[in-house]
Amino acid sequence: MNAPVGKKQIIWLVAILCALLIARLCTQLFAARPDNVGVDVLHRVTDVLVWPLAWIDATQPQFGARFERGTLLLIVVGIIGLHRLTTHLR
């Protein structure tokens, strides 16, 4: 892949954000303890990304296992964006 340096950095940034969102979705699905430091940091970092889509998950329970559709939507958009960025470079 002979991409400009800026485009490679964008690809890496989007990939890292997708990985964080996937980790958030897994912790939500398996009802990870929010008092765990790692889970707390993960949720605080990704809350900024998920906040604009919070209205989608307004009916979700506050505690326990939950499926955040807004997080899944961001993951899908990120993966599609990564695919388009990487295939555009060929």
Q: Please write the tens of the pLDDT for every residue from 28-44.
A: 999 898 889 999 999 99
pLDDT in tens, 5-21: 678 898 899 999 999 99
Q: Which residues of 65-78 are buried (b: 16+ CB within 10 A; e: fewer)?
A: eeebebbbebbeeb
61 located within any domain: no
Angle at 70 between CA 27 and CA 77, to 5 degrees: 105
Range of the domain at 80: 5-56+66-88
> How far is 1 from 44, CA to CA, in rounded Å?
34
Q: What is the pTM of this model?
A: 0.86
Q: Any residues with CB less than 8 A from the CB of 50 and at least 6 apart, and which? A: 21, 24, 68, 70, 71, 74
The answer to whether residue 37 is domain-embedded is: yes
Say how many domains are in the chain.
1
d(CA 45, CA 34): 13
Whether 16 is in a domain gets the answer yes
In a domain, 36, yes or no: yes
